[in-house]
Structure formats: C-alpha cells, structure tokens
A and B are shown apart, each in its own frame.
Chain A
Amino acid sequence: MSDGVAPRTGRGPDTTEKNRLTFWGALSSWTPYRLVVGLATASPRRQFLILAAFPLLWVLTQHLGPMLQMLRVSFTDAYPVAPGVEQHFTLDNYARFFGDHIFWQPFFRTLIFASVFTFCTLILTYPVAYFLARHVSRKNQMLMLLLLLIPFWVGEIVRTYAIMILLGNTGAVNQLLKSLSLIDRPIPFMYTSFSMGVGIVYLTALYMLLPLYSALEKLPKSYNEAAADLGASAWTRFRRITLPLTLEGISSGCTLVFLISTGFYATPVLLGGPSTTVFAETIAGFFHVAGDEWPTGAAFATIMFLAAIILTGAFQKLMNSLRKGDTN
C-alpha cells in the first residue's frame, strides 16, 4: 500500500519532499555537506580515522596528557610557580636521585618487593585459575568468577583496612590462634613486609587470575589426555604441556601485577612498617611537603616509570624467547 511517498532505499540521502522539509533531510541533501561526507568516507583509512578520532582524543587528553605534563614538570625548577618566580628548565631533579644514595634504598626495595609479590601472586593464583578453567563446569565458571570479582567492587582503602582488621593484634587471625591455644601473646603481623605482601597479593590477585584463566581455558584438554595415554605423569604433563602453553597468560598477568605493585601507595603506607618504605611514599613526600618539590617528585616518578617499563620489557622478551624455544 502506497502512502504517496517514495520508499527509502537506505542508501544515500533521502530526497523525498516530506523529509526535505526536516533539518536533517535538508542538511543531507545540501551539496557542501554531501561533498564533505563524501570526501571523509571515501577510503577505509578515512573512515577508520573518523571512528578512532574520539577514542584517540580521549587517550591523548586524559591519559597521555597528564603524564606528558608531569614529564615537563620534572624538567623544571619550580612548580607550582609562585607569583613573581620565573620557571627554568633543569636536569637537577634527576641528578638529585642519582646523587643521593638515600633514595636508592626505597627505589630498589620497591622493585624487589614488586618482583617477590608478583611471584607470590602467580604461585597462589595459578592453582585457582587451573581449578576454575579445568575442573569447574562451564555453567559454574562464570558464577565463580563473579564471586571472585565481588571484592573488587570495593575500593583499595576499604580492602586494605579489611587486612588490618584481619592481621591486627586484636584481629581475627590472632584471636583464632589464641582461642586454639597456639599462642599466648598476639603475633605482630601488622606493619611488616608480611602484612604489606598479604595486602598487595590480595589487591592484585584478580589481575593475575584473569589472564591465567583465559590462557588455561583455551588449552585443549585433548593435549593432556594424549600425553597421559603416552604415559606422562601429572607433573610431566604440567611441566611439558600446561606450563609452556600458558606462558602468554603468565607473561600478561605478571606484567600487570608488577606494574601495579611498583605504583602502590596507600597499601604500603597503611600496612607497611618503618623498614618497608617504598618509592611511591618517597615520591608522595615530595608532593606533600610544601614548596617547589613537585618537580623532584615528578622526576622520581618518571625514573620509576622508566625502570618498571624497562624491567617488564626485559621480562616480556625473556618470556617470548622461552615460548619460541618451546615451539622450536
């Protein structure tokens, strides 16, 4: 049945008399507009650029922008600039790190802690991911993943306080040990590298678990079954098949956890003790103390960022060579 209006084809501008009266109808049939749209969408490359423009703008302004600004601040001698003060560019902020050994200890301590905690997280979460991916039915996997995700709906500080409640002198762990008559006096778990490690492993576990789960889940069961048929023990099957074929997940998880661990601030401050000062605390100190210490803080943050990137790059390279070696 015809209503007197020509049917729309879905291609090109609608030029019917009725739509020409609307704004969009008028605009789409306006020659300059059609020319611009035609030019913009003439090639797949241009179409991609149009689609990518907003995300690119977002990344540049919201992610890279502050980092580049901080990089710029790290080369200045004053920031925020007080009235009447002239800002100059300098390398002194970087020289301060290399010239004063008191900053090296928290720097290297952070890298060592991050490496150890990353390893602990891997060791603790691998069996969980393995169990989830290999021994839980498909239907229950999503439910269990959701249960594991629930603590991550709560902020870092709240979860850190939960650890404090757990490990304090009057906390649940000490109370339990006491009620079991295993201890007379509370064990001072808190404000040690142990409590800090527990907190960081807890906070980063999911970042390790998800890549591991993803890698393990993709691994065909038939590989292990074939190896078992050929007489390989459980350990041999894990060492020769499961582990090499999940190296990519291990690599991704470790990289994520290591990078996050090097930047942790609140958790080490709240759970750590006098001997566990990490570099993020040193950096934060420069931003807290008044005056023009921001440039030093920015320089130190840049140094840590570069160190973390170099180390993870080296780690990725090592994992790649292991994977290639395994393939060969």
Chain B
Amino acid sequence: MTKLTINRRRFLGTAAIGAATLASPAYLRRASASGGEVNIWTYNDFVPEAFKKQFEADTGIKVNIRLVDDQGKQFNLLAAEAPNPTVDIMTVAGHRFLQFIDSELLAPLDTGRLSNWGNINPTFSESDWSTINGHKWGAPILSGMEVLAYNTELVTPEEARSWDVLFSEKYKGQTAYIIQDMMSIVMLKMGYDGNMVAYLDDPEKAAAIVEEAKAFLIEKKPLVRKYYDSGAEVQQMFINQDIALGHSWNGPAAALINDGFPLAMTIPQEGSYGFVYTYNIANNAPNPDNAYTFLNAILASPEIGASMTKASGFISTYKDASNYLTDLEKKSTSFSDDELENLQFFRAEANEMKYGLVDPAVEAIKAA
C-alpha cells in the first residue's frame, strides 16, 4: 500500500483546481463526461478558430463544421435529410425561421438550458421577430444589413446618400448588387413595404408592386456591371476596381474597411433592411446535449462575440462586444443614429407570397 503524503503546496494546488472545476460553467462539467461531437452548418468565420480549439480541449466534444453560403441551399439540404438530419446546429437568418419551422426542420430552443442567454443584447434576443408560435427558435449571434458600399476615392459621401446613385449614368458599368435583395430595396425606395407584410390581404397589389420593381430593374440593367451572389465576389470586384460602388452586406464591406481598403458604407436615406443570423438546433438533432453545450459556450463572453465580428465583419449581438474591438473595427461596424433610423428588419410573415412573386421576377430580370 502506498503511503499518502500531502504537503502544503500540493494541498493548495489541489484545492485551487477543485475550486476552478466547481466554478467552471455547468456546460463543461456536463460535457466532460459526454465527449462525442457536434455537427454545425455555418458561414465562414462564424465559429472563431481559437474558440473551437478551446471548446474541444475543454469538453472533449469534436466540432465538425460544414460551411454554407446560402440559406436556400441549407434548407434544401436539411429537408433532404429530414427527419433524421446529420446536423445539430445550423445558421438560419431570422427572417427565414418561418420556412424552416413550417417544414418541421427546427427544434424550439430551450433557453432554460442556456445559462448565458442573458449575454445577448435584448434588442436581438427579445425582439418581435425572434418569437414564433410562442417559442424562441435560435440564439442571435451576428447582425447584418443591406448597405450601399462605395470606394471613397471615386464616390463622395453626398452622392451615396441615396440608392439612386446605384442607378445613375455617371457610374454606368461600375455598380453591382444581389438582385434578390435589391428587389426589396427598390420596393422600399419606391415607397412600398419591401417585406410585403402590408399586402398579405391584397395579393394583386403585391404582384403589381413586384412588377413595378422588376420593370425598374430591367430598365436599369444596362447600367449594372454584375449581379453577384456572395460577399467574396463583391469584395473581389472592389479590390480589382471593377466597381466603384455597390449594394453589399455590411460584413464583407466592413472586412475590406478593416483591411485598409478605401471603402465606406451607408444606409441611404430611403432606408434599408437588416437581418440577424442565429444558431438553431435541428429537429431530431443527433447530438442535442452537445449542441446546447456548444451554444452555451459560444454565448459565454463578449470577447467571443467580438472575435466573430472581427472575422466576419458583421455586428455582434452580444452585450459589450464592442469593448473588445479596435477603433477601426468599431467604425466599420457602427452607423449613425440617422442611418439606423432608416433601418428595418426583414420579416417573414409574407415570405411565401413575397418569394413566390420575387423569384420569377428575378429570373425575368436576369433573362431580359
């Protein structure tokens, strides 16, 4: 039998480790026993690499990330795998919730299992779009918006006050936009509800509005250099100076600004739309406990939120995340009160009618 000897230093050390273990978040204690894996579908840079490594080391849970670049593709992939998906957590934009929920692809989020839920800014976690059918469906992580981005060496801030500059002869062949998103913006610019919620009871008017926006974009087609699809494309076009200005998501534009590219972005006076990316748990997820462990861990501190902003350029939904950003990063992720006053979030209520009208219109514009 080995004689147990303990000295003062070892005792203090053991006591400290014990205290740290007891004080560590509940997710670590639960997960250390579980191990296994968690499968995540998300956009590039939405899970910070340092956080992933730390989480895997702390919990023994392997994080498998599959990159996505499109909400529609993600929906189709998940629908094809239903009712037994391979994914645990996916990244759905808030205004697309309804479609996923209607198809029974998401599980309601049990916020009671997320002790760090309170770290999210209530503007995002408690806003009207975040509760559907009496449930929360996702943990907001990053916020984005449709902005007008412009090369500051070629376009003046005064010119960029209105979306009209995107359709001006002066910048013919030097503009680009995502045509699907531009449909909503053009409707807003024309004084209509780009979310189309206002026309839920009047489908004829909705069709007429979409027709008007379609006709406008067909008329302006000779002015545009490129209809693009992904953030990387618009960044490439700005860097190559193929375009002087364009509609963009704030994330890709902010990333260029942070890299020192002479770019600025604004929410024009006619207004624009915002959206929120959320982490959601799939219905019948194969590793639900690990999914909750991951969600609670990623919501644990504002530094994690800030690192997601640094990597993606989108605005963190975490309280106090901006405290961990540099001045340039703060500048590239903040807007004036006047600009934010013109911002409204995408809504999902009329999505079926909206996309039923907008998708064929987009095809018609491309084909024209």
Query: Contact residues of A with B, CB < 8 Å?
Result: 80, 82-83, 100, 102-106, 164, 168-171, 186, 188, 190-191, 269-270, 273-275, 277, 281-282, 285, 287-291, 293-294
Q: Are A168 and B240 in contact (CB under 8 A)?
A: yes
A80 engages B76 (CB within 8 Å): yes
Please tell me if the beta carbons of A80 and B82 are within 8 angstroms of each other in the complex: yes
* A180–B242 alpha-carbon span in the complex (Å): 21
Contact A281 B366 (CB under 8 A): yes
Q: Which residues of B contact A169 (CB under 8 A)?
A: 240-242
Q: Which chain B residues lie closer than 8 Å to A285 at the CB level? A: 359, 362-363
Residue from B79, B233, B364 whose CB has the most chain A CB atoms within 10 Å: B79
Q: Contacts A82-B103, A281-B366, A282-B363 hold; do A289 and B229 have CB atoms under 8 A apart?
A: no
Q: Answer whether A103 and B363 are a contact pair too, CB < 8 Å, given A168-B240, A169-B241, A191-B226.
A: yes
Most chain B beta-carbon contacts within 10 A, residue among A191, A269, A277: A191
Other than A102-B367, A188-B242, give 7 A-B pairs with Cβ distance below 8 A.
A82-B79, A270-B233, A273-B226, A281-B366, A282-B363, A288-B76, A291-B355
Which of B65-73, B159-167, B300-308, B318-326 participates in binding chain A? B65-73
By beta carbon, the residue of chain A nearest B104 is A83
Q: Could you give 7 example pairs across A and B, Cβ below 8 Å?
A: A102-B360, A103-B367, A164-B240, A169-B242, A281-B366, A290-B72, A294-B76
Which B residues are within 8 Å of any A CB, using their own CB? 70-73, 75-76, 79-80, 82-83, 96, 99, 103-104, 173, 221, 224-227, 229, 233, 236, 239-242, 355, 359-360, 362-364, 366-368
CA distance A269 to B233 in the complex (A): 10
Q: Roughly how many angstroms separate A176 CA and B159 CA in the complex, as a whole number?
A: 33
Q: Which residue of A lies closest to B70 (CB)?
A: A288
Known: A80-B76, A186-B241, A289-B355. A105 touches B367 (CB 8 A): yes
* Nearest chain B residue, comparing its CB with the CB of A292: B79
B367:A277 contact, CB within 8 angstroms: yes
Chain A residues lying within 8 Å of B368, measured Cβ to Cβ, are 102, 105
- Chain B residues with Cβ under 8 A from A104's Cβ? 367
Give the complex CA separation of A291 and B79 in angstroms.
9
Question: From residue A265, how far is it (CB to closest CB) to chain B in Å?
Answer: 12
Residues of B within 8 A of A287 (CB): 72-73, 76
CA separation between A290 and B226, bound complex, in Å?
A: 23
CB atoms of A80 and B79 under 8 A apart: yes
Shortest distance in angstroms between B241's beta carbon and chain A's nearest beta carbon? 4
Question: Please, which residues of chain A bring their CB within 8 A of the CB of B224?
Answer: 274
Complex CA distance for A288 and B366, rounded to whole angstroms: 15
A82 CA to B75 CA, complexed, in Å: 11
Give the Cβ gap from B145 to chain A, nearest Cβ, in Å.
21
Q: How many A-B residue pairs have CB under 8 A?
A: 88
Q: How far is the CA of A113 from the CA of B364 in the complex (A)?
A: 19
Cβ–Cβ < 8 Å partners of A190 in chain B = 240, 242
Contacts of A105 in B (CB 8 A): 367-368
Cβ of A102 and Cβ of B70 under 8 Å apart?
no
Report the separation of the CA atoms of residues A236 and B359 in the bound assembly, to the nearest whole angstrom.
56
Contact of A102 among B75, B80, B364 (CB under 8 A): B364
**Contact A290/B363 with A186-B241, A190-B242 known, Cβ cut-off 8 Å:** no
B127–chain A nearest beta-carbon distance, Å: 23
The one of B73, B221, B242, B367 that contacts A106, using a Cβ cutoff of 8 Å: B367
Q: Do B366 and A289 touch across chains, with their CB atoms under 8 A apart?
A: no
Q: Is the CB of B363 within 8 A of A191?
A: no
Q: Please report the C-alpha to C-alpha distance between residue A55 and residue B81 in the assembled complex, in whole angstroms.
A: 29
A164 to chain B, nearest CB (A): 7
Q: Cα distance A83–B78 when bound, in Å?
A: 12
- Beyond A170-B240, A171-B240, A290-B71, whether A273 also contacts B225 by CB under 8 A is yes
Q: Are A188 and B173 in contact (CB under 8 A)?
A: yes
- Residues in B with CB closer than 8 Å to A164 are 236, 240
The CB with the most chain B CB atoms within 10 A, among A274, A275, A285, is that of A274
Query: Out of A83, A191, A289, which one reaches B225, CB within 8 Å?
Result: A191
CA distance A170 to B239 in the complex (A): 9
Q: State which of B73, B227, B360 has its C-beta within 8 Å of the C-beta of A288.
A: B73
Q: Is the CB of A282 within 8 A of B225?
A: no
Contact between B242 and A191 (Cβ–Cβ < 8 Å)? yes
A133-B103 Cα distance, complex, nearest whole Å: 60
Bound-complex Cα distance A294 to B367 (A)? 20
Give chain A residues whose Cβ lies under 8 Å from the Cβ of B103.
Answer: 82-83
**Selected contact of A282 from candidates B70, B73, B76, B367, CB within 8 Å:** B367
B225: chain A residues at CB < 8 Å are: 188, 191, 273-274
Q: Given A169-B241, A188-B225, A288-B70, are A83 and B82 neighbors across the interface (CB < 8 Å)?
A: yes
List the B side residues contacting A80 at CB < 8 Å: 76, 79-80, 82
- How close is A36's CB to chain B, nearest CB, in angstroms? 40
- Measured between C-beta atoms, what is the minimum distance from B70 to chain A in Å? 6
Shortest 4 CB-CB distances between A and B: which pairs? A168-B240, A80-B79, A290-B75, A277-B366
For B241, the chain A residues whose CB sits under 8 A away are: 168-170, 186
Measured CB to CB, the closest approach of chain B to A295, in angstroms, equals 12
Chain B positions within 8 Å of A168 at CB level: 240-242
Q: State in angstroms the CA–CA spacing of A100 and B364 once bound together.
A: 10
Q: Is the CB of A274 within 8 A of B242?
A: no
Residue of A nearest to B223 (CB): A274
- CB nearest neighbor in B for A186: B241
Contacts of B76 in A (CB 8 A): 80, 287-288, 290, 294
List, in ascending order, chain B residues with CB within 8 A of A293's CB.
Answer: 359
Q: How far is the CB of A180 from chain B (nearest CB, A)?
A: 19
Question: How far in angstroms is the closest Cβ of chain A from B162?
Answer: 22
Nearest-Cβ distance from residue A48 to partner chain B, whole angstroms: 38
**Residues of chain B within 8 A of A273, CB atoms compared:** 225-226
B119 to chain A, nearest CB (A): 31
Q: Note all chain B residues with C-beta closer than 8 A to A291.
A: 75, 99, 355
| B82:A288 contact, CB within 8 angstroms | no
| Min CB gap B116→A, angstroms | 31
Task: Identify the closest chain A residue to B179 (Cβ).
Answer: A274
In the bound complex, how far is the Cα of B247 from the Cα of A60, in angstroms?
Answer: 46
Closest to B364 in A: A102
What distance in Å separates the Cβ of B98 from its nearest Cβ neighbour in chain A? 11
